[in-house]
Amino acid sequence: MLYNHHPYILLTLWITMAQLGGQEEKEKTTALKDLLSRIDLDELMKKDEPPLNFPKTLEEFEYAFNEKGQLRHTKTGEPFVFNYREDLHRWNQKRYEALGEIITKHIYELLENECNLKKEFLPVDATENEPKSFIFLSEDALSNPDKLLVLIHGSGVVRAGQWARRLIINEDLESGTQIPFIKRATKEGYGVIVLNPNENYIEVEKEKKPVQLTSDSLDEPAEKRERKDEKEPKKRRDFYEKYRNPQKEKETEQISIRDNSSPEEHVIYVWDNFIAKSSAKNIFFVAHSYGGVSFVELMIQREAEVKNRICAVALTDSVHSVWHQEAGKPILEWMQEHCCNWVSSIEALDTPIETMLPDCPRVSAGTERHELTSWRSFHSIFKFFSEALETQNSEAKQPAAVATRSSNRIKHEDF
């Protein structure tokens, strides 16, 4: 009866109920947003997380490199497992990073013990308590009168002697480190300098600053202030209790290493203090990824010296930009003649790759994996260096021969 005579009443009632329901949903949404805004997602990820205490040596990790240079578990013989604990990505990542630091120290030992390189600290005039970096040099790096090879890795976590940490851990030492380059260079009579462009700072633990009381808080009665301090932390603790993990990482700050605070600065510093002072007639560079950026910056800052001393440069999947870095035309012309970039590609090794860029020729590294480009182009790079040296020597002989003929002719005429 109500429906037949007063349909508008039902309609009004429905609208009112809908509005009330909508209001209720709105309030729920607001409450949910408030809840989410108060939850620290980083803390949430730490829920039920085991302590971030990891082994300090390969032996304690129960891993070792076998005769093929592959990292294997000492008991199971299995490769490294990243997801050691499921659903704990952050903890697994921290474990991986801890292993990476041990790997870095292991590579340093190999550079000194297997490759017979020595560590040289930077800056060269550093005081005892000053932050320091270092590079590695062969015994004849500065005295070799013939050839010098300089190696520059890319950006990220890699350090001196490495191309890619991922390859060292998941593949082998040959593909992931610079050791094959160093050994072959030594065998072929090169001096060697291994740069360390990512070692730009040291980390120190932050000192906790004392809590500064404001003038307003000092004006409060002590009893009221104490009750307030007790109540607020308890409220927060209660709210976060189900999400919070008591484990906290130390807060650190970075202190830059003088004259080596960036990869580019490091390369220029090593050039000025070591490479430029070497006796080698012919200098060769291998620069991977961001190492190419550092090399181009070196060219821009030390153009005349670089052109005079460097014979050839092998870039491997370099990410340099001659436009962004504002390399001039003379530099581009020099790079066309003296550089080659082995880039990631599906094409066969050494296949020319078309490019619109005006800097240097590009050829395939024979792999689509960026981190593998240095290793896959290993033999091609040394062939490229040999050919560049032959070309340079033949060009050097021609003027000498002309000068000799001219000199002989003058002597003959004098008679």
Give the residue numbers marked as catalytic: 289
Q: Tell me if residue 35 falls in helix, strand or coil.
A: helix
Q: Tell me if residue 285 falls in helix, strand or coil.
A: strand
Q: Tokens standing for 256?
A: 């830059």
Across the chain, how many H-helices and E-strands are there?
A: 16, 12
Burial of 80 (0-12, 13-18, 19+ CB in 10 A): middle
What distance in Å separates the CA atoms of residue 300 and residue 325, rounded to the nearest whole number? 8
Tell me the Cα Rg of the chain: 32
Backbone angles phi, psi at 37, to 5 degrees: -65, -25
Between the two ends of the chain, the Cα-to-Cα distance in Å is 141
What distance in Å separates the CA atoms of residue 87 and residue 92, rounded to the nearest whole number? 9
Q: Tokens standing for 232?
A: 């607020």
Q: Tokens standing for 379?
A: 């033999």
Q: Are 137 and 274 in contact (CB under 8 A)?
A: yes
What distance in Å separates the CA atoms of residue 323 and residue 358, rounded to the nearest whole number? 10
Q: Tokens standing for 271?
A: 């050039």
Give the count of beta carbons closer than 10 Å to the beta carbon of residue 386.
12
Burial of 94 (0-12, 13-18, 19+ CB in 10 A): middle
Q: Tokens standing for 55?
A: 């082994």
